[in-house]
Amino acid sequence: MTFRAAPHLRGLKEFQLRTVHHVFDRFYGDQDGSGRSGRFLVADETGLGKSIVARGVIARTVEHLEAAGRRRITVLYVCSNRDLAQQNIRRLNITGEPQAELNTRLSMLATQGDLLDGGVAVGSASLNLIPLTPATSLQPTKGAWRSGRKEERALLAVILERLTDADETERRAGLTLLRGAAGEESFSREVEHMRQSTRDKPLDRRIIDEFAEAVRASGLQSDFVRMRTDVLRSGARDPSPEAWHALWNLIAHLRRELARAGAKVLEPDLIVLDEFQRFRDLLAAEDEPGSGEDLELAHTLFNHPHAKILLLSATPYTPFTRSGGDDSHQSDFLRTIDFLNRHQPAPRRELTQTLERFRRALIDPTTDADPGEAAQQVREALLPIISRSERPPLTEQTDMVEVLWQEAEAPHAADFHDWIVLRRLGDIVGTHITADYWKSVPHFPTFMEGYAFGDRVRDRIADGEPQLRDLLRRSRRITRRQVDSFGEVDLGHGYLRRMVDQTVDLGWWKMLWLPPSMPYLRPGCVYSDLSEQAPTKRLIFSAWRSVPTAVACLLSYEAHRRAVAELRRSDGSRGEGTAFTSRLGWAVRPDGSPSAMNTLALFWPEPQLARAGDPLSTVREHAGAQPSVDEHLAYTTRRLHQLLDPMPDRVAQPWEAFLGASKTAAAEARTVWLRDAGRQGRETSQNWERHLARAAEDTSQLGWHDDLPVLAAFSPGSIARRCMSRVASDDTDGTVVQRAAWTLSLGLRNLFNRPETARILSALYGAPDPSRPYWRQVADYCADGGLESVLDEYLFQLACDRGPTGTAADQVIDLAERAVTGMSLRPAIYEGHDYTAEDPKVPFSVRYALRYGSHQQSETSDSAAHRLAEVRSSFNSPFAPFVLASTSVGQEGIDFHWWCHRVVHWNLPWNPVDFEQREGRVNRFGGHAVRKNVAHHHGAEALVRDTSSPTNPWYSAFEEAERSPTTHGAFSPWWIYPGPARIQRVLMAYPHSREVPRYEHLRDLLTHYRMTLGQPRQEDMIELLGESDHSTTIDLSPPGR
Amino acid sequence: MADLMGDPPGRRHAVVARQLRDPSKLIELLMVLLDINTAGLLPAGPLGSTGAQGPASAAPTFPGLLETLLQALAADAEGLDEAKKLVEYVMADDEPPHLPPNFLALWEAAWQAHRQHSESEETT
């Protein structure tokens, strides 16, 4: 069976397809490949799906190589961090089968012989898709840890003892040499473990042979043997201090040789360098000064005779350098060009001349060269190595971006006073504090940790300098006592007050999820105001490191405090304590028998009831205006009456009626539970089993309770069941849908079981009582906030993102699990500091607003990467966090568009292109703004469309949108769809500050910078362009239109 | 200024007062006063423009006024006291200038902070 690329290209949009074909043509288009560098840069504007293009290139490459008789095909995917790798590797994987472990270290490749020989079958060949991150894989000696990881040294020990035929004493001496900073015992355990695993799974022969030859030839092996002999002779358990330096050098060299052997054996066919500007130093030429041993590995890979290199980056070089800064744009640009041309001088020379002609055509009044022609020449010179697709530009001139100035109120006297204090503090510790600190960071003294200034203040207070403490007491500091008791905190900052005005004050503290873009029912009293606002999440960017922490702490605190304040106001309770925990338990009597079974009734997905409570049936039956919650309940009641006909007697409890109605489903329920018991196991599982057993053996008769329609229409269980049915394909097994629904429903149970949630519900509905118990409040809230339409929207997005890989069952289970991940974010604790206190820590519990990126932890650490992924998937869900604040780390490559089309520029960037970078995070495929507009135009139609089986209405809405013509061609509807929602560029300013003129200048630069591609002194050039309305642009779109 | 304040109501006085009814002239003068004692700390920026496309584009804005105030506060500049006298003087005029929105709030807050700081400095 041969591999066909066509099925993998089917979902690609027209411009993506043109790019794939152009790249492929540049890689393999003619037989001899003369004049082709085998390197290509796809510089598509951010958010246009470069990884989709890469996937297409991979598919065509595999098809080509397999047809040419290749049996093993290796594709390396290199990207800067693990979070990005996790996000993208799934999209590149054309096999749909699981691929190699993430973060493969080249030095450890020898232990994965199966990785090199295995791979996933693609036709008659096998494909290996291997992710690498430069920091760990390609630059193994970078940084202080020359000795590498314990497991690497253990592997070296095992290999070297074999190469040198070591006896027992020599082995032990070898361990002494290689154990580095690890303890004697732990290292020896690690080596024993390595020996064992290499017996089970032999090391890759080719790598070992390469390594053996290299260490013999370079003398490393004899160095090692000599040192080992020294250790044996001295009998020491540690190498002598004098030997340390030489030893660590030796280890570093051995590790590098091992990594190089791995790199050689990999023999990549295609290397995808994603967002490579993050590791641009890898692109240096071999003979370039400074390109030391660190780059050797990269060159080993890049210069492999078969290797084609595909670079992906929206900003491959600094797109724009301002005058006064370094002129890095042009040098960056040319460096990239050099890499793409394999450092050949001729093409570079020609290109520089072409660019110079273009420049003159634009700004030199003495030339009559035609700018359009000159631009065409630039295109011809670049297209062999670069292409770039762009959306119609996001400018204020078009209607895509909406500029919103958020003017803060004038600073309060106390705000100004804080500034004076801050300056005094700075004077005392010798740090010049500029007004930008004060303008940017709310409560700077509380959040100055991590700045040199903050460290100095802290240290000198610790040294007992009373003046500093007195000064701090004079500022409005935030104390731990205040925070612990949910006291009111003066936000102390104009921008933050504005932010609170625009979120918490608008009732956002009541929100557990954003209102749906395509509501099925009219929102209830809590959500009607919120829906009016058509809110979208906020993505805040600031160049100031403390801003994300300060904003996340204070906004989260404020949201939380409002709920508590509301509780205190309404019932005088303290809003604290254990009264709010675990309200949705599996209650049992002392004898172990289930008592009230409301939780089960609320969360168990009961298919029959779910069908009766389907709001889309109501929408279809209820021609005309959007039905209200009560109207839907009336329809549901009618359908239940039909289901239960003849009308049974009344029962006392709603869950009794539920059990009666679900009698037939209980057996199915039990099967599913037993299958999942191990995975879902929690401490309450025994009680849950009792509930389930009771449900399964239930002998009670059908019964009616007036709350039964509420359960059918609005219980999370019924909702989960309907939502999962709508994304399951027709042939999906019913028990699989049930399992997925149960997974989703348990996620919702966790959401409603949080004390925070219980507090919000009590603030809204009062403390639960027999007339309105907690389970009923939950159902009411789900009805009010349109949970069902929200989940359908979310699942639709997850399904689009995931793509149709795997079996139908995998698909539906995976969707449910991903949705649960999005709603299950653990709250984090961020810290502020009050240095006037004995214990300066002021902990804030945050969930409502979070920061993206770690404050101090190194970004590459596993836990930090994991947390980033977690924060990202939660922000990309309708659930909390509703505000995300980031420094620049969020600017490149990461998606934040799912529920957000509003970017807050907390500070104006220095570089105008940062606007595009930042806004590019939310201006993406199927983003929140696009969905709102599609729903606006096609929602009503999509909701009433009658389908033979349950179908998520978003599919119908986008089908309609795809059919309706707009002026945006291939970018419509998924990237751009006209309508009331736009990408919002929010600018913050104090009255009478310099922000306004600064922005105006930035905007002018932004409008024109594209014309200065590859040019020196870009800002000057734009000024010379002056008022003349040049519209000449350099078109780099792939050919073939 | 001293002259100005001490003058009996006269021709010169009237001319000055009339001049300062133009808000941009007044603010420009204020900024000069505030800036004198912090000379060199401030980068020269565009002074009051009435056409800047700001948050409320209809109202005149004076970009840089806030930054000037901040610098003066930080430097504990004597210009603050002079500026205070000037503002009081023009506001006491029969026809006080139509000051841009937020200006008085901004000014009052800054002045209060300045006083509060001076007082706490004195008590310590």
| Interface mutation vs chain A, best among B34, B53, B66, most A CBs within 10 Å | B66
In chain A, the percentage of residues whose pLDDT exceeds 70 is: 89
In B, minimum Cα distance to A422 occurs at B74
Q: Say how far apart CA A613 and CA A619 lie, in whole Å.
A: 11
Asked if B66 reaches chain A (Cβ–Cβ under 8 Å), the answer is: yes
Residues in chain B with CB shorter than 8 Å from the CB of A407 are 54-56
CB contact under 8 A, A438 and B70: yes
- Of A420, A992, A1000, which has the smallest distance from its Cβ to B106's Cβ? A992
Bridge partners for A407 per DSSP? A989
CB contact under 8 A, A995 and B114: no
Q: How would you class A581 by CB atoms within 10 Å of its CB: exposed for 0-12, middle for 13-18, buried for 19 or more? A: exposed
Q: For residue range A661-707, list pLDDT tens digits in order.
A: 876 555 555 455 545 543 444 435 678 878 877 776 656 678 999 99
Question: What Å distances lie between residue A10 and A24, A56, A95, CA to CA?
Answer: 16, 9, 15
Asked if B120 reaches chain A (Cβ–Cβ under 8 Å), the answer is: yes
pLDDT at residue A183 tops 90: no
ipTM: 0.84
| Interface mutation vs chain B, best among A403, A432, A493, A992, most B CBs within 10 Å | A992
A573 φ, ψ (degrees, to nearest 5): -70, 170
CB contact under 8 A, B54 and A407: yes
Q: Say how far apart CA A632 and CA A619 lie, in whole Å.
A: 8
Asked if B56 reaches chain A (Cβ–Cβ under 8 Å), the answer is: yes
Provide the H-helix boundaries in A201-291: 205-218, 220-234, 241-266
Range in A185-189, A378-382, A700-704, A906-910 the model is least confident about: A700-704
pLDDT for residue A900:
97
Asked if B37 reaches chain A (Cβ–Cβ under 8 Å), the answer is: no
Evaluated on CA atoms A420, A425, A427, A430, the torsion sign reads: negative
- A–B CB contacts, 8 A cutoff, strictly below: 102
pLDDT at residue A587 tops 70: yes
Residues in chain B with CB shorter than 8 Å from the CB of A415 are 109, 113
Q: For residue range A593-624, list pLDDT tens digits in order.
A: 888 889 989 998 888 899 999 999 999 999 77
Q: Say how far apart CA A757 and CA A759 lie, in whole Å.
A: 5
pLDDT at residue A654 tops 50: yes
| Interface mutation vs chain A, best among B31, B41, B106, most A CBs within 10 Å | B106
CB atoms within 10 A of CB A1040: 12
pLDDT for residue A146:
64
Asked if B117 reaches chain A (Cβ–Cβ under 8 Å), the answer is: yes
Greater pLDDT, A552 or A735: A552
**Nearest partner of A113 among A30, A202, A193, judged by Cα:** A202
Give the pairing of strands A883-886 and A538-541. parallel
pLDDT for residue A805:
65
Which two structure tokens, joined as six digits, stand for A970? Answer: 């291939």
Q: What is the mean pLDDT of residues A626-645?
A: 94
Residues in chain A with CB shorter than 8 Å from the CB of B56 are 407
A371-384 residues labelled b (16+ CB within 10 A) or e (exposed) = beebbebbbebbbb
At CA A688, angle to CA A685 and CA A694, rounded to 5? 145
Asked if B112 reaches chain A (Cβ–Cβ under 8 Å), the answer is: yes
pLDDT at residue A32 tops 80: no
CB contact under 8 A, A412 and B109: yes
Q: Say how far apart CA A983 and CA A896 lie, in whole Å.
A: 12
Which two structure tokens, joined as six digits, stand for A863? Answer: 């836990």
Q: For residue range B74-87, list pLDDT tens digits in order.
A: 988 788 998 898 88
- Name the 3-class secondary structure at A121: strand
Measure in Å the smallest separation between the Cα of B12 and chain A Cα atoms.
Answer: 30
Asked if B113 reaches chain A (Cβ–Cβ under 8 Å), the answer is: yes
Q: For residue range A358-394, list pLDDT tens digits in order.
A: 988 888 878 888 888 999 999 999 999 999 998 765 4
pLDDT at residue A719 tops 90: yes
Q: Say how far apart CA A275 and CA A84 lie, in whole Å.
A: 10
**Nearest partner of A497 among A554, A445, A574, judged by Cα:** A554
A96 torsion bin: left (phi>0), alpha (psi -120 to 50), beta (else): left
Contact A898, A876 (CB under 8 A): yes
Mean pLDDT taken over chain A? 86
Greater pLDDT, A817 or A368: A817
CB contact under 8 A, B120 and A423: no
Q: What is the mean pLDDT of residues A618-640?
A: 93
CB contact under 8 A, B113 and A438: no
Element (H, E) at A312: strand A308-312
CB contact under 8 A, B113 and A410: no
Greater pLDDT, A152 or A966: A152
pTM of the model: 0.83
CB contact under 8 A, B106 and A410: yes
pLDDT for residue B2:
45
Confidence band of A115 (pLDDT split at 50, 70, 90): low
Asked if B14 reaches chain A (Cβ–Cβ under 8 Å), the answer is: no
Measure in Å the smallest separation between the Cα of A410 and chain B Cα atoms.
Answer: 5
